C-alpha cells in the first residue's frame, strides 16, 4: 500500500512537465571512476542515485529524530500509519509499505505487540496468516507521531513551488519506474 501518485498522468500526455523533447535531449555519459578527491566529488555529483540517496537519508534522519520522543522507529511509524489507513493487513503487506524485509517486519510487529500498540489475529481467509490492527493506544500514538512526521513533509514541500513539487514527484516516479523495469 505504498503512497502512489497518478504515475500515468504525465505519461498519458506523452511527456513530463518541463521535459526537453527527445529530439533535443543531450546524451549523457557517466564518467569512468577517476582517482582524486575532486574527481570523486565530481563523479558522485554526476550520479543521480547519489542525490536520491542523500535526500532519502536526510528525510529518514529528520523523521527518526522527530519520532524518537514517541519511542518509535521510522519503520514502526510506517507500519502504524499503514494500519491506521487500512486495518487488518498482513505482515507481508506491511513490510512492502514500510520498505523492509518480511523478517524485519516480523520483529517490528513483535515489538509493537509487546507495547500493546497492535493486535494480531488469524485471517478469516487464510488461517495461517495473521492480520494486524491497531489498538486504541496504537491509533492514538500513530496520529500523534504523524503530526511530527507531517511537519517534516510540510517543511520539505514548502521549499518548492507547486510546479516544482509536481515536476520533482513526476521525475522521482519516472526514476522508480525505470529502476523497477530493470529488475
pLDDT in tens, the chain (183 residues): 444 444 444 443 444 555 555 556 788 888 889 999 999 999 988 999 999 999 999 999 999 999 999 999 999 999 999 999 999 999 999 999 999 999 999 999 999 999 999 999 999 988 889 999 999 999 999 999 999 999 999 999 999 999 999 999 999 999 999 999 977
Burial class (CB in 10 A: 0-12, 13-18, 19+), 101: exposed
- pLDDT at residue 24 in the model: 66
The residue ranges of every structural domain in the chain are 32-181
CB atoms within 10 A of CB 165: 14
Distance between CA atoms of residues 73 and 52, nearest Å: 21
CATH number of 32-181: 1.10.10.10
Instruction: Convert 127-148 to b/e letters by CB count within 10 Å (16 or more is b).
Output: eeeebbbbbeebbebbeebbeb
CB atoms within 10 A of CB 40: 12
Amino acid at each position: 500500500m505504498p503512497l502512489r501518485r497518478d504515475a500515468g498522468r504525465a505519461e498519458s500526455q506523452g511527456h513530463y512537465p518541463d521535459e526537453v523533447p527527445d529530439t533535443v535531449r543531450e546524451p549523457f555519459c557517466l564518467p569512468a571512476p577517476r582517482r582524486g578527491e575532486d574527481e570523486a566529488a565530481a563523479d558522485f555529483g554526476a550520479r543521480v542515485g547519489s542525490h536520491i540517496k542523500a535526500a532519502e537519508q536526510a528525510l529518514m534522519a529528520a523523521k527518526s529524530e522527530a519520532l524518537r520522543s514517541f519511542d518509535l522507529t521510522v519503520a514502526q511509524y510506517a507500519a502504524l500509519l499503514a494500519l491506521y489507513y487500512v486495518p487488518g493487513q498482513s505482515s507481508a503487506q506491511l513490510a512492502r509499505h514500510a520498505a523492509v524485509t518480511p523478517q524485519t517486519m516480523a520483529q517490528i510487529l513483535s515489538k509493537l505487540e509487546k507495547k500493546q500498540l497492535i493486535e494480531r489475529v488469524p485471517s478469516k481467509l487464510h488461517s495461517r496468516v495473521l492480520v494486524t490492527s491497531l489498538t486504541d493506544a496504537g491509533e492514538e500514538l500513530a496520529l500523534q507521531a504523524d503530526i511530527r512526521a507531517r511537519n517534516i513533509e510540510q517543511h520539505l514541500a514548502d521549499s518548492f513551488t507547486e510546479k516544482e513539487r509536481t515536476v520533482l514527484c513526476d521525475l522521482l516516479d519516472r526514476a522508480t519506474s525505470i529502476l523497477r523495469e530493470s529488475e
